[in-house]
Chains A and B, each alone.
Chain A
Amino acid sequence: MNDTVRESLSALMDGEASELELRRILSADEKAIRTEWADLHRSQELLKNESNPFIGWDISSRVMAEIADDELVNSGGTGWKQAVSGLAIAASVAAVVVIGSMGGNMFGGSPQMVAENNGVSGRVYPAQASAAVGGVAVSAQAQASPAGPLLNNDAEARKRFEAYLRKHTDRAAFNNGQGMVSYARVVSQESE
């Protein structure tokens, strides 16, 4: 992270960041920013001689871990269904937007309603909409669920997973403190 970003961050903490500085921070390296942000707070607290029981807590990484797990749980449907529903939602949003703006332009009335419709489409469906524009079903899947059952249903990927898990267990059994029992993970999988 360069000094400009660091200064912008410091300004943000003092509540004095400009629009430009905010943009600079948002486009900078995420991990470095987080560390720097925590460091700034820590040094400020030290200066003010305050103690904070939550010091050193990085809630953002915990939230990201939860999201990574949620993606797995929520992406229960098969790939094509998700892709199709994603496209369908995107299409319906597009329709709403079109009707909404037509309403605004053609009849001259209720500009408020137009704003509302646009607001909804912008807030809820940006990911699906952009995938639909790309026109590739696979990219819609990848965005909806970057992990999990998607590949669990893929026979090739599953075969690879089994082979890797066996090799991994050869190494893990000597190092995880559990020994031979670890192989139950491999054997139970193969007998399914």
Chain B
Amino acid sequence: MLVRLASTALAAALVSAPAASIESGSELLNRMTHSHRELNYRAIVTYQLGEQLSSYRITHTVHDGKEFEALESLDGDHQDLVHHGHDINCVHPGPQLIRLFNAEEEQGFYRYYDVDIVGEDRVAGRDAVTLSIKPRDVYRLGYKLSLDNETGLLLRSDIVNQQGKVLERFQYAMLDLNIPDDELLVEGAIEVEHKDVSLDNPATTQLRVWRPDWIPAGFTPLKDTDDGSAAISYTDGLAVMSVFVEPLVTADSGAVAVTEGGMRRGASVSYTVAFPDNGMFATVVGEVPMLTAKQVAKSLSWDQR
């Protein structure tokens, strides 16, 4: 009797496991981080913030090993954003944190999040698999991601706070994978400068005389060659936060009125702290809980010169 019970339970467990489990959560996540850069596609995406809904057309092509992408707003004021010529082989640290490890190793990204396949879904007329990504500490947000079964493209993304409330949602309404790769080779498009972002190196660290004394475990610094002395960004693979530092008094605009405090919009928050002794103020911006932005901003210290 006991044996039969056990085998029934086992059968039930096997049946309830989702069909997509041939691929593990970490394999799916890994596919997500590079598929959106490698494929040619056009999509209509909605972006929802509370009551507010806006829609965009996204076009992405790869031509001669370079990425071309455009984001066009479809309602309100007409706005276009074009990225041209990003090298497809250019590697960024965020995806690396996901790519180099898998969930079983409990390393990198997987030390800080629990990744589970929660089921199947249908988004933009395509079959998708849904992942639940829950933070293990209070310093990150949670994610519910639906990925296209065929390509791994992120079709729907909910960013969820620690209390389980959805802060913002991206959702594809239409996806077309059959577009020519020279679709975006338009005359006169403005080329958005690609900033070389790679792992921090000692050269720029020396330029910077300030640093946060605390960042949550698992966040890796990115280097930005343009303004290494005024900003630094960190990522844990999904969340990114940036620290900006500016003088309280400038030659052209005089004293800047800075009030300590936070600001929130969707999943993005900022927290500003003034450091009058150093004549500077710092703002932490990112898709992180307010607590994280606040603690990082307050932890800034300056080198003694």
Contacts and interface: CB of A to CB of B under 8 A. Distances in A.
Interface stretch (B17-25, B110-118, B121-129, B267-275): B267-275
A169 to B, nearest CB: 9
Interface in A148-183: 148, 150-152, 154, 156-158, 160-161, 164-165, 167-168, 170-172, 174-181, 183
Contacts, number: 187
Contacts of A178: 36, 154, 157, 170
A168 B162 contact: no
Contacts of A165: 265, 268, 270, 285
B217 to A, nearest CB: 12
A26 interface: no
B92 A174 contact: yes
A183 B60 CA distance: 14
Contacts of A154: 259
Interface in B268-298: 268, 270-272, 283, 285-287, 289-291, 294
A180 B58 contact: yes
A184 B71 contact: yes
Nearest to B52: A188
Contacts of B272: 151, 157, 160
Contacts of B130: none
B47 interface: yes
B162 A171 contact: no
Contact of B261 (A146, A172, A191): A146
Nearest 7 pairs between A and B by C-beta? A175-B94, A147-B262, A172-B240, A65-B138, A184-B47, A191-B76, A68-B291
Contact of A170 (B163, B195, B256): B195
B12 interface: no
Contact of A151 (B76, B95, B259, B289): B259
Nearest to B77: A191
B79 interface: yes
B289 A68 contact: yes
A69 interface: yes
A187 B138 contact: no
Interface in B229-257: 231, 233, 235, 237-242, 244, 256-257
Nearest to B33: A177
